[in-house]
């Protein structure tokens, strides 16, 4: 056997022994030990490189090449093994690390808007998209703004429609509706056209019960311009109803009377609880009364500073409490201002 | 008003409409049908109805007209009789205890059989012996040995009225064997009359609307009247003191009447319409009021003669004299005031004009001659009287909304006719009619083009005129223009521009709101205005919600005592003037609130046992009366209330700690940072509701904008609250929202790396942390970009009365990387300054 053959055989053996040792490795610690033994500084392969200095000149390149091949083979095998072991380890981890996914999550203390604010925002947004802007107005009003300027002079029979809280200050009362805001926004804006919505608290002298409140939120809608028509009132409300209650919402206008509008109407939507079949929510009628509306009365336009011969407009007023009540089928209107957390946290 | 359909049908033919369709037609012209009570008629077909139905149907096979041919005694009972009855199919014996049949007992076969309402076995009807309306099924039964399977009915059993004293005796011409529903089946509409449509608080008024809506003819009641008695002229006189208050007064006279029950159909109609039948004279006045809408009043003529010392009575209408009283026919004695209008004679008050008659001059069973009043009154005056005396009546209901004077005469004529028909007697010739103040029935001119433009319709001028004429307007059409004359039964139509709006409503109502097209707004968009306060108010809500708080909406009405609970018991603060409510619903809600903190405390109290963590806020006004100003200031406030656990309890961890002062401060800092309010400072302060050592004022630009702190233990004891301390903030929102910035500077993200280092200094316990931080910032200059306190230490290592504050500092320069040397210089400056300003020493 030549020197060369002997040396090459030795290399072959080194490789074979190393690979067979690798085959027995089953964890990453053993793999590291294997690397130190078979590829470390004092490994057999590295010993071949350091022993080359004493070899024949012709032999050196041959042996160098062969030793390199062995080293690369072992390194490659090491990498392969590492990947296998890591995959196994991951697999095992995935199999053993399990949670009880039914345990409750860590509670985050979430804040909430009051349901009345939520519904009001929805309404404000819908009208906002149609170019209406919010106009704030006071909750304590004068008799003039609440009644007289709205075409209800003292002792007008229509004043009976609102059970009023009067104050001990002469001529001052708690507004019974958001309509006095109509006069305020008109006086602020005349002679510009108006598209305003006026939300706010209103008060009425009622006996407190599940169905009636002494304080409740309303929102008023007002349009003033030249040649505003009843058809536009209808179209605006129809669009509003479809966006609030859904594409399929049925609507109707029904004659009514308010001193500050003429013609006046009630706006009804098909009952979304029973779909018109009749239920206690709609009092067996299949319709829900959503808001009162009409064309702004000439006297009101005049008090607002608009010439009724030139300008016209429409107005609508809706109760937020009542529509929220209907929407969520809430059994008692007093829940809104009792602020019971068991009620509030459902929204 | 309760409208029996059979009555409506007298004036407009509605036979071809089912009940449901008729109710829809009425609702869509403004006569809202709130409930339909069936009194015999069947439910309309179909299973979807738009109205609430109550009452009883009378199926034809169970309910018929029958006749009693003979009334026999019961062999074993005195209070029962046996009736030999024919129901069209044969003869049966029916057992009954009706007292109104006793007089016919033992008379043998009756010459004139009695017509009755008869029901057969199995019929479902109301139980006459139970209070209210309870249904029962008629079964075969044996009473004292006699078997009976059918029944002769009272009004109560059929649902006509609550009358159960005897059975109904029908008019003699009722056809035996006819289904009862065909003979007198009815339905009663409960119609909600709109305030401007009091003209329709009458059967004829409603019939006119229905006829207009359906385009059917209106059959007005026949008012032809035979006046055969001696003339009325000279036998009574009228004197009107104030034609403004009493525009018209009409008197008629009928002599020789018999005050007896009205015919059955009249009593039945009155019952169905909700009025109790009394006698034919009173019934006639009520019947005509319901028919035409004109309230009438009948006087005993002879009583008036007696009061006039046997002379001819003079009716004087005038306002009450000071101290005058009147006892109305409900037995109540009223103190009158000089604004109240009266009907009097020379001897004194007779009745409260337009409201209620006096007790004394009322028609009685002995009355023979009747003087009948039909008048017209000023509705505002009647309204004042009614609200002052807290009295109401069918007459007052109508007169306080305005009844046209023309109806006074029409009502008197029709009523005299009805009295003669139902009570006999002779109607005196002529009427005494004093009519000093006829209204001007407005004539309105409007163009069809204007109507169409206002409605968005395309209605022809002719159709508009037709609609108005169906409502009894008299119209002239010339080209595009209609001139409409208001009919003499309406007071709700005005002159000029308002009159045009009135007619617009009439045309659109009868044309049908459902036929008016639906169109999107075709108007120029108004100037769009930004309201920063509103915008920031909503941002405030969102920020506080994001910070984990629940929003509240609260009552404005409260009481001073409730608000006083927010102070310690011995607190003696300045007097607070409240806006007081004149007619509060309860003493607990008799003023408008001044303190949003008081509201918050009440809501925390209400919820204290409902949840272990409460975190609330409310945005709303408080109401502060201001001298010399009519309306109070509505000051927009924000309140925050925190109490209980910091976090919600969680299974993997122990009990979370309670919230403290700094939880509240964190919320406020989060809010003010979110609003981009600069120049915020907190300063120790005192507030009567708060713990003196744990209270801070919130300053914005050096001005106090609010207060925050822990609830004072003495105040806490005023409320039923749990053990954890309560933290409150009360903030005047206006200055906060004004300081909030919609547009704010955004600093460039630094390109060069920051240098971080910690700095711990020991200062006296009394030195506020904010001052230390300020000095550090001053010393660090513009390259010191962040100063964050991360630890406070008190203990032996720093000595008694001292504390160590540890800050983490961040240095960045915008234009270069800072070197250790740069930072070292800054650090030295800070330490020197801390020493100079605060006597602080570096903690080694």
Kindly determine whether residue A157 and residue B383, on different chains, have CB atoms separated by under 8 Å.
Answer: yes
Give the torsion through C-alpha atoms of A16, A17, A18, A22, to 10 deg: 100
Chain A residue closest in CA terms to B517: A231
Kindly determine whether residue B584 and residue A192, on different chains, have CB atoms separated by under 8 Å.
Answer: no
Residue A138 gets the label, from left (phi > 0), alpha (psi -120 to 50) or beta, of beta
Residues B825-834: what's their mean pLDDT?
A: 93
Tokens of A183: 């006069």
Chain A residue closest in CA terms to B54: A284
B394-433 residues touching A, CB cutoff 8 A: 400-402
B474-513 residues touching A, CB cutoff 8 A: 497-498, 500-502, 504-505, 508-509, 513
Residue A274: per-residue pLDDT: 84
Kindly determine whether residue B589 and residue A214, on different chains, have CB atoms separated by under 8 Å.
Answer: yes
Kindly determine whether residue B581 and residue A238, on different chains, have CB atoms separated by under 8 Å.
Answer: no
Chain B residue closest in CA terms to A137: B634
Q: Are B152 and B117 in contact (CB under 8 A)?
A: yes
- Contact with chain B for residue A307, Cβ under 8 A: no
B421 Cα to chain A: minimum distance (Å): 37
Q: Are B550 and B617 in contact (CB under 8 A)?
A: yes
- Structural domains of chain B, ranges and CATH numbers in brackets: 2-56+187-214 (3.30.56.10), 59-184 (2.40.50.140), 237-434 (3.50.40.10), 443-515 (3.30.56.10), 532-739 (3.30.930.10), 755-842 (3.30.70.380)
d(CA A297, CA A315): 10
Q: In sequence order, what are the residues at sequence separation of 6 or more whose Cβ sits closer than 8 angstroms to the Cβ of residue B403?
A: B198, B293, B294, B295, B376, B377, B379, B491
Convert the pLDDT of each residue in B485-527 to its tens digit: 999 999 999 999 999 999 999 999 999 999 999 999 999 999 9
- Contact with chain B for residue A8, Cβ under 8 A: no
Q: Are B278 and B261 in contact (CB under 8 A)?
A: no
Convert the pLDDT of each residue in A252-308 to its tens digit: 999 999 999 999 999 999 988 888 888 887 888 889 889 999 999 999 999 999 999
> Which among A125, A162, A341 is the top mutation candidate for probing chain B, defined by the most B β-carbons within 10 Å of its own β-carbon?
A341
Residue B515's CB is within 10 A of a number of other CB atoms, namely: 10
Q: Are A288 and A275 in contact (CB under 8 A)?
A: no
Chain A residue closest in CA terms to B396: A157
Convert the pLDDT of each residue in B142-169 to its tens digit: 777 777 889 999 999 999 988 888 899 9
Tokens 């045309």, residue located: B507
Find the length of chain B.
844
Residue A160: per-residue pLDDT: 76
Q: How many CA atoms lie within 13 A of A155 on its CB side?
A: 14
Kindly determine whether residue A277 and residue B548, on different chains, have CB atoms separated by under 8 Å.
Answer: no
Which residue among A174, A236, A337 sits closest to B521, beta carbon to beta carbon? A236
Q: What is the residue-averaged pLDDT of chain A?
A: 91
Residue B548: per-residue pLDDT: 96
Residue B624: per-residue pLDDT: 97
Q: Is A80 helix (H, G, I), strand (E, B) or coil?
A: helix
d(CA B685, CA B705): 13
A146 vs B contacts (CB less than 8 Å):
none
Write out the H or E segment, with its range, that includes residue B713: helix B713-716
Share of chain B above pLDDT 90, in %: 84
Residues A215-229: what's their mean pLDDT?
A: 96
Is residue B241 predicted with pLDDT exceeding 90?
yes
Convert the pLDDT of each residue in B527-571 to its tens digit: 988 888 899 999 999 999 999 999 999 999 999 999 999 999 989
B25 vs A contacts (CB less than 8 Å):
none
B627-656 residues touching A, CB cutoff 8 A: 630-632, 634, 647-652
ipTM confidence score: 0.88
Tokens of B60: 């034809």
A266-305 residues touching B, CB cutoff 8 A: 276-278, 283-287, 295, 297-299
Residue B275: per-residue pLDDT: 94
Residue B522: per-residue pLDDT: 93
Residue B294: per-residue pLDDT: 97
Is residue A112 predicted with pLDDT exceeding 90?
yes
Q: Are B760 and B787 in contact (CB under 8 A)?
A: no
d(CA B706, CA B700): 9
Closest Cα to residue B57, out of B46, B42, B47?
A: B42
Q: Is B60 helix (H, G, I), strand (E, B) or coil?
A: coil
Is residue B457 predicted with pLDDT exceeding 80?
yes
Closest Cα to residue B250, out of B403, B424, B442?
A: B403
Kindly determine whether residue A167 and residue B580, on different chains, have CB atoms separated by under 8 Å.
Answer: yes
- Contact with chain B for residue A254, Cβ under 8 A: yes
Residues B787-808: what's their mean pLDDT?
A: 92
Q: Are A213 and A335 in contact (CB under 8 A)?
A: no
- Contact with chain B for residue A134, Cβ under 8 A: yes
Full DSSP string of B621-632: EEEE--TT-SSP
Convert the pLDDT of each residue in B118-145 to its tens digit: 999 999 999 988 888 899 999 988 777 7
- Strand boundaries in B746-828, DSSP class E: 755-764, 784-793, 802-811
Tokens 């034809």, residue located: B60
- Contact with chain A for residue B289, Cβ under 8 A: no
Residues B589-599: what's their mean pLDDT?
A: 97
Q: Is A129 helix (H, G, I), strand (E, B) or coil?
A: helix
Which residue among A160, A299, A341 sits closest to B195, beta carbon to beta carbon? A160
pLDDT band at B827 (very low <50, low <70, confident <90, very high): very high
Kindly determine whether residue B613 and residue A109, on different chains, have CB atoms separated by under 8 Å.
Answer: yes
A165 Cα to chain B: minimum distance (Å): 6
Residue B223 gets the label, from left (phi > 0), alpha (psi -120 to 50) or beta, of alpha
Residue B663: per-residue pLDDT: 97
Closest Cα to residue B28, out of A239, A268, A281?
A: A268
pLDDT band at B469 (very low <50, low <70, confident <90, very high): very high
Convert the pLDDT of each residue in A241-255 to its tens digit: 999 988 988 999 999
Q: Are A190 and A169 in contact (CB under 8 A)?
A: no
Residue A282: per-residue pLDDT: 83
Is residue B232 predicted with pLDDT exceeding 80?
yes
Residue B830: per-residue pLDDT: 94
Q: What is the residue-averaged pLDDT of chain B?
A: 94
Q: What is the DSSP letter of B321?
A: P
Q: Are B341 and B353 in contact (CB under 8 A)?
A: yes
Q: Are B207 and B217 in contact (CB under 8 A)?
A: no
Convert the pLDDT of each residue in B1-27 to its tens digit: 999 999 999 999 999 999 999 999 999
pLDDT band at B58 (very low <50, low <70, confident <90, very high): very high
Residue B652: per-residue pLDDT: 83
Residue A347's CB is within 10 A of a number of other CB atoms, namely: 16
């Amino acid at each position: 056997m030549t020197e060369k053959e002997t040396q090459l055989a030795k290399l072959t053996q080194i490789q074979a022994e190393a690979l067979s040792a690798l085959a027995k490795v089953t964890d990453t610690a053993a793999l590291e030990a294997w690397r130190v033994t078979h590829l470390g500084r004092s490994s057999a392969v590295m010993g071949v490189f350091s022993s080359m200095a004493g070899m024949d000149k012709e032999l050196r390149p041959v042996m160098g090449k062969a030793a390199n091949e062995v080293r690369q083979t072992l390194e490659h095998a090491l990498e392969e093994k590492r990947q296998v072991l890591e995959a196994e380890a991951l697999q095992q981890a995935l199999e053993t690390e399990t949670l009880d996914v039914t345990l409750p999550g860590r509670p985050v203390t979430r804040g909430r808007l009051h349901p009345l604010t939520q519904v009001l925002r929805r309404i404000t947004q819908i009208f906002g998209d149609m170019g209406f802007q919010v106009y704030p107005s006071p909750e304590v009003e004068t008799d003039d703004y609440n009644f007289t300027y709205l075409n209800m002079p003292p002792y007008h029979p229509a004043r009976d429609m609102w059970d009023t809280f009067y104050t001990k200050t002469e001529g001052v009362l708690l507004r019974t509706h958001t309509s006095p805001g109509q006069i305020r926004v008109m006086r602020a804006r005349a002679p510009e056209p108006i598209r305003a919505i006026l939300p706010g608290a209103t008060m009425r002298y009622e006996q407190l019960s599940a169905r009636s409140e002494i304080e409740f939120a309303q929102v008023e809608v007002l349009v003033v311009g030249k040649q505003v028509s009843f058809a536009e009132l209808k179209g605006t409300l129809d669009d509003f109803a479809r966006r609030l209650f859904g594409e399929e919402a049925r609507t109707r206008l029904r004659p009514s009377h308010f001193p500050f509008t003429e013609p006046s109407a009630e706006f009804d939507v098909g009952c979304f609880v029973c779909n018109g079949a009749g239920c206690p929510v709609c009092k067996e009628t299949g319709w829900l009364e959503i808001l009162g509306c009409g064309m702004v009365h000439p006297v009101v336009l005049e008090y607002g500073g608009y010439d009724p011969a030139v300008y016209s407009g429409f107005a609508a007023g809706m109760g937020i409490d009542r529509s929220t009540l209907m929407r969520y089928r809430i059994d008692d209107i007093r829940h809104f201002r009792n602020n019971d957390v068991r009620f509030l946290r459902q929204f | 008003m309760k409208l029996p359909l059979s009555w409506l049908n007298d004036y407009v033919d509605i036979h071809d409409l089912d009940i449901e369709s008729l109710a829809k037609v009425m609702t869509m012209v403004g006569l809202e049908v709130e409930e339909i009570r069936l009194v015999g008629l069947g439910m309309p077909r179909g299973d979807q109805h738009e109205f609430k139905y109550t009452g009883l149907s009378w199926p034809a096979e169970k309910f018929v007209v029958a006749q009693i041919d003979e009334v026999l005694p019961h062999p074993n009972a005195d209070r029962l009789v046996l009736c030999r009855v024919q129901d069209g199919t044969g003869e049966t014996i029916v057992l009954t205890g009706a007292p109104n049949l006793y007089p016919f007992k033992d008379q043998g076969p009756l010459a004139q059989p009695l017509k009755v309402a008869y029901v057969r076995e199995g019929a479902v009807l109301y139980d006459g012996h139970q209070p209210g309306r309870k249904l029962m099924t008629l079964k075969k039964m044996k009473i004292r040995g006699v078997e009976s399977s059918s029944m002769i009915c009272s009004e109560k059993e059929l649902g006509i009225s609550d009358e159960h004293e005897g059975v109904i005796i029908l008019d003699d011409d009722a056809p035996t064997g006819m289904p009862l529903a065909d003979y007198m089946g009815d339905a009663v509409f409960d119609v909600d009359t709109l305030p401007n449509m009091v003209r329709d608080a009458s059967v004829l008024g409603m019939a006119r609307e229905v006829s207009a809506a359906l385009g059917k003819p209106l059959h007005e009641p026949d008012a032809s009247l035979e006046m055969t008695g001696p003339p009325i002229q000279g036998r009574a006189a009228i004197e009107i003191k104030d034609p403004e208050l009493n525009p018209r007064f009409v008197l008629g006279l009928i002599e020789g009447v018999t005050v007896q029950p009205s015919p059955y159909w009249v009593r039945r109609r009155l019952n169905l319409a909700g009025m109790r039948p009394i006698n034919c004279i009173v019934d006639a006045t009520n019947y005509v009021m319901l028919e035409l809408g004109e309230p009438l009043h009948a006087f005993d003529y002879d009583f008036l003669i007696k009061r006039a010392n046997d002379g001819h009575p003079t009716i004087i209408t005038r306002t009450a004299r000071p101290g005058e009283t009147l006892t109305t026919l409900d037995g109540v004695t009223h103190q009158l005031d000089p604004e109240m209008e009266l009907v009097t004679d020379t001897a004194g008050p007779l009745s409260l004009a337009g409201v209620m008659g006096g007790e004394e001059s009322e028609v009685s069973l002995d009355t023979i001659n009747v003087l009948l009043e039909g008048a017209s009154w000023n509705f505002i005056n009647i309204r004042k009287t009614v609200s002052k005396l807290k009295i109401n009546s069918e007459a007052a209901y109508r007169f306080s909304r305005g009844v046209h004077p023309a109806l006074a005469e029409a009502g008197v004529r029709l009523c005299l006719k009805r009295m003669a028909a139902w009570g006999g007697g002779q109607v005196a010739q002529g009427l005494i009619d004093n009519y000093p103040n006829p209204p001007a029935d407005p004539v309105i001119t409007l163009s069809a083009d204007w109507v169409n433009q206002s409605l968005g319709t395309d209605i022809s001028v002719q159709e508009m005129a037709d609609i108005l004429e169906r409502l009894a307007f008299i119209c002239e059409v010339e080209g595009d223009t209609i001139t409409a004359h208001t009919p003499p039964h309406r007071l709700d139509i005005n002159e000029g521009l308002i009159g045009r709006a009135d007619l617009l409503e009439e045309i659109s109502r009868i044309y049908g709101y459902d036929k008016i097209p639906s169109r999107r707004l075709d108007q120029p968009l108004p100037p769009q205005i930004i309201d920063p306060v509103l915008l920031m108010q909503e941002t405030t809500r969102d920020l506080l919600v994001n910070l984990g708080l629940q929003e509240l909406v609260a009552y404005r009405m409260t009481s001073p005592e409730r608000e006083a609970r927010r102070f310690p018991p011995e607190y003696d603060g300045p007097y607070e003037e409240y806006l007081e409510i004149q007619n509060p619903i309860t003493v607990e809600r008799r003023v408008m609130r001044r303190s949003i903190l008081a509201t918050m405390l009440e809501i925390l109290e209400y919820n204290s046992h409902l949840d272990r963590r409460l975190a609330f806020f409310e945005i709303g006004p408080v109401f502060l009366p201001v001298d010399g100003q009519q309306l109070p200031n509505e000051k927009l406030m924000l309140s925050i209330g925190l109490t209980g656990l910091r976090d919600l309890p969680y299974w993997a961890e122990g009990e979370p700690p309670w919230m403290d002062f700094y939880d509240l401060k964190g919320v406020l800092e989060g809010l003010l940072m979110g609003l981009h309010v600069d120049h915020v400072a907190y300063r120790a302060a005192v507030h009567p509701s708060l713990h003196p050592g744990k209270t801070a004022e919130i300053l914005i630009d050096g001005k106090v904008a609010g207060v925050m702190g822990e609830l004072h233990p003495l105040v806490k004891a005023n409320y039923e609250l749990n053990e954890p301390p309560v933290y409150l903030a009360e903030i005047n929102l206006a200055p906060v929202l004004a300081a909030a910035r919609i547009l704010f500077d955004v600093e460039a993200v630094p390109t060069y790396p920051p240098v971080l280092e910690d700095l711990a200094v020991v200062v006296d316990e009394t030195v506020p942390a904010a001052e230390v931080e300020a000095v550090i910032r001053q010393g660090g200059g513009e390259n010191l970009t962040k100063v964050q306190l991360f630890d406070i230490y008190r203990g032996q290592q720093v000595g008694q009365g001292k504390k160590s504050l540890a800050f983490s500092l961040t240095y960045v320069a915008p234009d270069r990387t800072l070197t250790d040397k740069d930072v070292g210089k800054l650090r030295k400056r800070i330490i020197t300054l801390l020493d100079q300003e605060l006597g602080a020493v570096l903690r080694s």
